[in-house]
Amino acid sequence: MWTKLSNIHEQKTASNKFLLMQNFHEYRMDQNASISQHVAKVENMARQLKDLGEAVSNVAVMAKILGSLPSKYSSLLTAWHSVASDQQTLDNLYQRLLKEECRLGSNDDVTNALATMTMKQKAPTKSDDTKNQHQRKDIECNYCHKKGHIIKNFRKRISANNRKNNDSGDASALLAVDCKGNSWISE
């Protein structure tokens, strides 16, 4: 009975070792994972292999951590190769990775903010312009009583108001708006 249990256990151990070794070599960091999660996963797989009798050196663990990083960490890889070999430890690597993650996170925040601003300031499309032109055709201006624009975009009225403001000394800059909605400031 003991011999049968030993044989079954050894077969499971061998297949587990093989599967774990395969997972270790094929592992890649998920884009959404943090550095802490990534390092912990690699170290955990190395520890499991060690428990099964397959020793994984610290150099192999560091190589796996660095080799499975996304491309956004390429500058850290280059910098790590210039570190003195006696300073290339798991702890130093982990600290550098955390700093790089923070740096990249702040860059991502700036990029996302700029992308959001760009989306909010998106220029109108041709279909938007076409819709607006069709809507403007039927609108009558309250100032000149012609169709196609409204009083707030009427150049003569704006110019008259600006001259009036300049004469009274209230405005230092003129704001002009044409019928298409384009505006500019002149001094």
- The three-state secondary structure class of 139 is coil
* Residue 25's pLDDT band (cuts 50, 70, 90): confident
Residues 101 and 13 in one domain: yes
Residues 94 and 135 in one domain: no
Range of the domain at 96: 2-120
- Helices (H) and strands (E) counted in the chain, each on its own, are 7, 2
Residues 77 and 158 in one domain: no
What's this model's pTM, rounded to 2 decimal places?
0.50
pLDDT digits (tens, 9 = 90+) for 42-80: 999 999 888 888 888 999 999 999 999 998 888 888 889
Residues 98 and 54 in one domain: yes
Q: How many domains does the chain have?
A: 2
Q: Out of 32-36, 162-166, 167-171, pick the least confident.
A: 167-171
End-to-end CA distance of the chain: 100
Residues 113 and 132 in one domain: no
Residues 57 and 149 in one domain: no
6's tokens: 């030993």
